Structure 1
Amino acid sequence: MSDTRWAWVEIDLGAIRHNVASLRAVADPAAVWAVVKADGYGHGAVDVARAAMDAGAEGLCVALVAEGLELRRAGIDAPILLLSEQPPETAGHIVEHRLTPTVYTRQFLDALVAVGPTGLPVHLKIDTGMQRVGAHPHAAAAMAQSIAERAPAVRLAGVFSHLAVADDPSDAFTARQVERFDGALEHVIERVGSVPLIHLANSAGTLAHPETRRSMVRAGIAIYGVSPGHGVDDLCADLRPALQLRARVSYVKMARAGSRISYGRVHKFERDTTVATIPIGYADGVPRRLSSTGGEVLIGGRRRQIVGRVTMDQLMVDCGDDEVNVGDDVVLIGNQDGPDGEQTIRAEDWADRLDTIGYEIVCGISSRVPRFPRRSIDG
């Protein structure tokens, strides 16, 4: 627990290792590369990266040069793939710190070559329908040729694309993306020869689409034990959530029937009730809308409804007639034992209430909430 505030995050590194091992078994013989961008989806990139590598991940993926540098400065020597092109002025850092860049334009490729690398591995990204970034499938072979022409400064180490709807196995668009990718890849190989690493699968692809598990998979949200989407929930049974968001009760009072609470006074108490204040709010990543969509926390192993609007630093919950004391343990995301057995609130539960995805929930937990990595007994 934090010694500076009564709100904190616990990260179960044993769960990370378990999830990576589980995904390796699913993806075999493809290698697993762990996606640790956005500070490891809010779980702590350095600790997650080390746990993932301990469990057999063969590489790491990040979104930004700064994220790659953080891993290198922590002494992590594994391959680190940058998932999209970066500002040209970062080329020197990419080469110096042995990051593996993604390329899809000649301008960025030339910025890398201008730094003077030797044998810098690069991955070519092909846009097969996500329409975010990447070379058009018809232009992929020419881009691969441009990379080959700039040897020995750079070498083509990988070709990949990104799936848009892999979390919905019923959507035929994934098959179309695979078809477009394979057509483009065939022309790349005709032009420049074989490529060491081919990858298509994200977490949902790894779990639900065997045809996308090529020489490696890029596992992101699944390594944190969060489902990529309801369409693949049934394939996530072996995954363990790694994050718990916890706090302690900071204040207890009796609210009288007919009184109202918090900004806007939108919640009216129908009867006398015990109200507990929790010292965590929307500045910490508890969405303000959670109070108007039936959000709950666990205290004493029972579900307690959030009442009134979540404020920047605090929220309040209705504890009915139960005895609650300052310092009592509160679980916002995670598990707690209670009189009726273990109770659980998942990141996905928040996501469902807020019409969003589990990714946004865990990534949205503010950096001002301290993280405490721990090791589960069987991890």
Structure 2
Amino acid sequence: MTGFREAVIDLDAVTANIRSLRQVIGTPHLVAVVKADGYGHGAVPVARAALAGGADWLGTADIPEALALRAAGIDAPLLCWLHPHGADFAAAIRAGIDLGVSSAAQLDEIADAAGSGVAQVHLKLDTGLSRNGIAEAEWEPVFQRARDLELSGVLRVRGIFSHLSNTSAADDRAALAVFTRGLALARRAGLSPDLVHLAATAAAIDLPETRFNTVRIGIGMYGLSPFDDRSSADLGLRPVMTLRGRIAAVRRVPAGRGVSYSYTYRTTDESTLALVPLGYADGVPRQASGSGQVSIAGNRFRVAGRVAMDQFVVDVGDAEVAVGDDVILFGDPEAGVPSASEWATAAGTINYDIVTRVGARVTRRYSA
């Protein structure tokens, strides 16, 4: 370990997770989602590892994320779908990036930006999530406009997609029915998309009818479970990120000693306190104060008191620890350490939040 804050990223695990999911899901196409800097793991190395595992598309939220992959020399098919007003569609089209379309106005903006090229687009339908996506009342005119633009040679509708709420199987099947209706209307308008995608990791695993010919895999690629009742191991996945630190200070204190801000924790007996130099500026959730657990030398200890901006304390009792000892906040629970999901439970959030919040001060070290 080279520093005192480190996230070790197991790229072999990314590749293995994609291979495993491809075998389970079986669709011709799989989009590996590397938005938000690869869910905090590093978009470029993760993208390469996912492609090595059999992903044939990459996905990002916005154009700058996609352009960064192109700048790194990644030339795989690439889709991005969340565009603010004034997005640089022309740069994306020149770079061969497919664009998600969520409104009639956006469709026309992309057509105008195509210049002498041909824009490749995926029409996103709102099937009940009420976020971005073409509203059902606008489907038919947008489909007709898209077909007219296809015939004029400025764009091609390569895909049609939507996103599920993961509220329940019944809710997702209701959204599937809406999506299927929209897909039929698109085809009736003369559109013939190569890719049809609705399912992300959870539905791709649990609802085969939502797979169509393409799925988008995000959290599963990073070895984390999207389910409350099944672990990564249950799904045949291996967590990719291990968040580690080193003990920066050790002190022996008497019973009744207050620890960290507001003294929300006081020692009950004479005890040893170990200081770990990671805090909420590094992504350690303050909401997990007093409840998050770490592993030191194979033993688990709970955070004592408040997580501060740069540090937190653990009460190790009479355990022998020393400055420089490794501290694992989360990693692969099969190795006996806490998981990102356990930290999520402690903080009242989800495992996606735990890994994507890991801050820029934390060095990423890649292993393969």
Aligned AA for 1:16?
V
**For 1:296-343, what per-residue CA distance to the aligned partner results, in whole angstroms no more than 9, with x for missing partners?**
11011000111121111111101111110111111001259xxxx942
What amino acid is aligned across from residue 63 of structure 1 in structure 2? A
Aligned partner letter, 1:329: D
- Indicate the residue corresponding to 2:364 in structure 1: 371
Match of 1:301 in 2: 298
Superposition pairs of residues 146-185 of structure 1, within 5 angstroms: 146-151=145-150, 152-165=153-166, 168=168, 171-185=169-183
**CA distance 1:342–1:177, shift in 2 (3 Å):** closer
> How far, CA to CA, are the matches of 1:39 and 1:117 in structure 2?
31
Cα displacement string for residues 325-378 of structure 1 (whole angstroms, at most 9, x for unaligned residues)? 111111001259xxxx94221110011122211100101111211101101xxx
Query: How far apart in 2 are the matches of 1:98 and 1:335?
Result: 37
- Alignment correspondent of 1:263: 261
Structure 1 position 46, deviation (Å): 0.3
Shift of 1:194: 2.3
SS at match of 1:214: coil
Alignment of 1:73-88 (within 5 A): 73-88=71-86
Question: Counterparts of 1:134 and 1:236 in 2: how far apart (Å)?
Answer: 33
In 2, are the aligned partners of 1:305 and 1:318 still within 8 Å (CA)? yes
Cα distance in 2 between the residues matched to 1:347 and 1:143: 42
SS of residue matched to 1:246: strand
Contact 2:296 2:328 in 1 (8 A): yes
- Runs of 4+ aligned residues of structure 1 deviating over 6 Å after TM superposition are none
1:362 is aligned to 355
- 8 Å CA contact retained: 1:33, 1:219: yes
Pairing 1:8-87 to 2, within 5 Å after superposition: 8-87=6-85
Q: SS of the residue aligned with 2:75? A: coil
* TM-score, with length taken from structure 2: 0.95
Task: In structure 1, give the amino acid aligned to 2:253.
Answer: A
- Per mean C-alpha deviation after superposition, the further-off stretch among 6-15 and 22-31 is 22-31
CA distance in 2, matches of 1:279, 1:362: 18
Equivalent pair of 1:11/1:242 in contact (CA under 8 Å): yes
Give the CA deviation at 1:232: 5.2
Please state if 1:224 is matched with 2:217. Answer: no
Whole-angstrom distance in 2 between the partners of 1:288 and 1:175: 37
After superposition, the Cα gap between the structure-2 partners of 1:229 and 1:196, relative to the gap in structure 1 and judged at 3 Å, is same
Bigger Cα displacement from structure 2, 79-88 vs 146-155 = 79-88
Q: How far 1:37 moved relative to its partner? A: 0.3
Shift of 1:231: 4.7
Q: 1:77 Cα deviation (Å)?
A: 0.2
- Secondary structure of 1:46 counterpart: helix
CA RMSD of aligned residues (A): 1.7
Distance of aligned partners of 1:342 and 1:92 in 2 relative to their CA distance in 1, 3 Å threshold: closer
Q: For 1:234-266, what per-residue CA distance to the aligned partner results, in whole angstroms no more than 9, with x for missing partners?
A: 894301000000011111110111111111122
Larger CA deviation: 274-283 vs 193-202: 193-202
TM-score norm. by structure 1 comes to: 0.92
Displacement of 1:27 after TM fit? 1.6
Question: Partner residue of 1:278?
Answer: 276
Tell me the residue number matched to 2:314: 317
The change in CA–CA distance for 1:234 and 1:268 in structure 2 (over 3 A counts) is closer
